[in-house]
Structure 1
Amino acid sequence: MPESTPPAESKPVLLLGISGPSSSGKTTLSRLLRDIFPPNLVFILHLDDFYLTDAEIPVKDGIQDWDCIESLNLGELRKALQYIKEHGRSPPSLVSQEDQNSVGEHGVDSSEIDRARARVKKLVEKSGWTTPICIVDGFLLFSEDMADIRRLFDVRLFLRTSYGTAKRRREARTGYVTLEGFWEDPPEYVDKVVWPNYVKDHKFLFEGLDVERELNEKLCTEVGIEGMPREAEENMSNCLVWAVQKLERVIMNASPEIS
């Protein structure tokens, strides 16, 4: 049976998980969705805000590994998600470090954003939708090692990108604000750490356990994951349209008065 949760309208919040490899557009998509929905209806929780302290990040083969499950404070993440599920808002004590990191240009034309905003506004008004939507953005949300957290989400969107694109985008970044300072990827970090970890944690979702092949539709259905269509890869405009359509379906299904 597919992983599922009670209907969204019976809860104080809709939890939307957006996951995928590093540099696949997770944070960019999350911020765009927040911007096109009515103010105060959508907020973001970043998995990157739940790293351990810099000194606690595990070292593997002489390199700190920020892209493994052992680098995360999963206890604090679970507590934050539970608070959100109960109260419909972020814990007041949570201050985001991730919001200080840039994500680069999204490439979506302003007219497309305006059209999406108008479409969402009309749908929300027609349906009377008032449930807050919490977007959780993170690179490991759908891994088997975090299956208990994966089950918490009402909607699970999985982004994908190729090795070459992930490497190019990741290596173009200047670095990351951390709990205690600033992190810059050392040389060959994508090849030695980022991509191998992604393959290990997500190959179960793909045909033949090969992350460059198609997603395994049967398995994704079983775990309730919606996979990004191929035409949305490296095209944030298409990715945004796809994500909005998925949320529209949720809102319409929760609002039987919409024909």
Structure 2
Amino acid sequence: MPQPLLVGISGPSSSGKTTLSRLLRDIFPPSKLSILHLDDFYLTDAEIPVKNSVQDWDCIESLNLPALKQALQHIKQHGNSPEWLVSQEDQNSVGDHGVPETEIKRLKDEVAGWLRSSKPEWEERRICIVDGFLLFSQDMKDIREIFDVRLFLRTSYETAKRRREARSGYVTLEGFWQDPPGYVDDIVWPNYVKDHKFLFRNGDVDGELDKKVCESVGIYGMPREAEGDMTRCLHWAAGLLEDVIKKT
């Protein structure tokens, strides 16, 4: 089986990573695209680091990086996820994506069309999307370099805070986690800024992405006009995948 195309989708919490991943899965043939979630590689609940008397689920130390790397290498070699990996993240819900069903069907037909006209190797080649909040940080450079395509989503602090605080909580390896009051301000957003400011001009995550830096690490940054508009975001991501597939 040909080596799969490994696609990383990253960005701040509540930027739409999982929503976009699932929508891409909807518009591709079921046998062609699968999803892996970074959230499936958290350490056990008891191993999550505690900072200022609160567990920090949004830092690199909360992740089982050896297992993640092992899973990605297995996918690269075999084209599917290892048998030992059972997703907990698929039990977590996402909000309404707002993309009309008619648009999803139209995109599904478009994807089927350009897949048929792609190179013969794409008859068997698969796509694996990995979504996660820390895939492109400098501290995860060795993980970042495994991906063939890297898509970076963005959202404002206000939107991230509103969306995250609207969630009921998260299924974990051993139970259920609900953010305590102030968690976005104290943990989530500061961690995001620390790990991703290198991608932005002057380190300002509310400003513009630094095109030279993004190009140097092979990251495609979501256009500003797609922020908060999942239909535009889906068109952007599908278009990028179409370009990559037609070129390979």
Report the TM range for the smaller structure's normalisation. over 0.9
Q: Which residue of 2 aligns with 1:179?
A: 173
Unaligned residue ranges in structure 2 (runs of 5+): none
How far is 1:65 from its partner? 0.1
Q: Which residue of 2 aligns with 1:63?
A: 54
Rounded Cα–Cα distance in structure 2 between residues aligned with 1:115 and 1:230: 24
Counterpart AA for 2:247: N
Residue number among 131, 134, 144 corresponding to 1:137 in the alignment: 131
Aligned residue pairs: how many? 245
TM-score by length of 2: 0.98
How far is 1:11 from its partner? 4.6
Residue number among 103, 111, 122 corresponding to 1:120 in the alignment: 111
- Deviation readout 1:18-76 (Å, 9 max, x if unpaired): 00000000000000001100111100010000000000000000100000000000010
TM-score by length of 1: 0.93
Rounded Cα–Cα distance in structure 2 between residues aligned with 1:94 and 1:223: 28
Bigger Cα displacement from structure 2, 10-19 vs 29-38? 10-19
Q: How does 1:69-218 map to 2 (within 5 A)?
A: 69-127=60-118, 128=120, 129=122, 130-218=124-212
Which secondary structure does the structure 1 equivalent of 2:151 belong to?
Answer: strand
Rounded Cα–Cα distance in structure 2 between residues aligned with 1:49 and 1:159: 20
Which secondary structure does the structure 1 equivalent of 2:117 belong to?
Answer: helix
Rounded Cα–Cα distance in structure 2 between residues aligned with 1:123 and 1:92: 31
Rounded Cα–Cα distance in structure 2 between residues aligned with 1:222 and 1:126: 31
- Contact 1:11–1:85 (CA<8 Å) still a contact in 2? no
Q: Which residue of 1 aligns with 2:239?
A: 245
Which secondary structure does the structure 1 equivalent of 2:130 belong to?
Answer: strand
- Contact 1:12–1:86 (CA<8 Å) still a contact in 2? yes
Q: Which residue of 2 aligns with 1:231?
A: 225
How far is 1:114 from its partner? 0.7
Q: Which runs of 4+ in 1 moved over 2 A?
A: none
Which secondary structure does the structure 2 equivalent of 1:146 belong to?
Answer: helix
Say what the alpha-carbon RMSD is for the aligned residues. 0.9
Residue number among 39, 42, 45 corresponding to 2:30 in the alignment: 39
Rounded Cα–Cα distance in structure 1 between residues aligned with 2:234 and 2:167: 22
Rounded Cα–Cα distance in structure 2 between residues aligned with 1:158 and 1:39: 24
- Contact 1:83–1:90 (CA<8 Å) still a contact in 2? yes
Counterpart AA for 2:128: C
Rounded Cα–Cα distance in structure 2 between residues aligned with 1:173 and 1:109: 23
How far is 1:205 from its partner? 0.2
Residue number among 8, 24, 45 corresponding to 2:15 in the alignment: 24
- Identity of aligned pairs, percent? 70
- Deviation readout 1:231-255 (Å, 9 max, x if unpaired): 100000000000000000011102x
Unaligned residue ranges in structure 1 (runs of 5+): 1-9, 255-259
- Contact 1:157–1:226 (CA<8 Å) still a contact in 2? yes
Counterpart AA for 1:103: V
Which secondary structure does the structure 2 equivalent of 1:15 belong to?
Answer: strand
